[in-house]
Structure 1
Amino acid sequence: MELGHHLKRAREFKRMSQHEVAELLGIDQKTLSNMESGKTQPSVIQLAKMGEIYGLDVLKLLSENGIHLSPLPPPEIYRKLKKNFNS
Structure 2
Amino acid sequence: MNKEYNNKKLKTDIRNGLINHCEFFDLLNILKGYKDAGGKQNDAYAVLESLRGDIKDDSCKDIILELLDVITGFCSLYIRIWDNN
Indicate whether the TM-score tops 0.5. no
Which structure has the bigger radius of gyration?
1
State TM-score, norm by structure 2.
Answer: 0.30
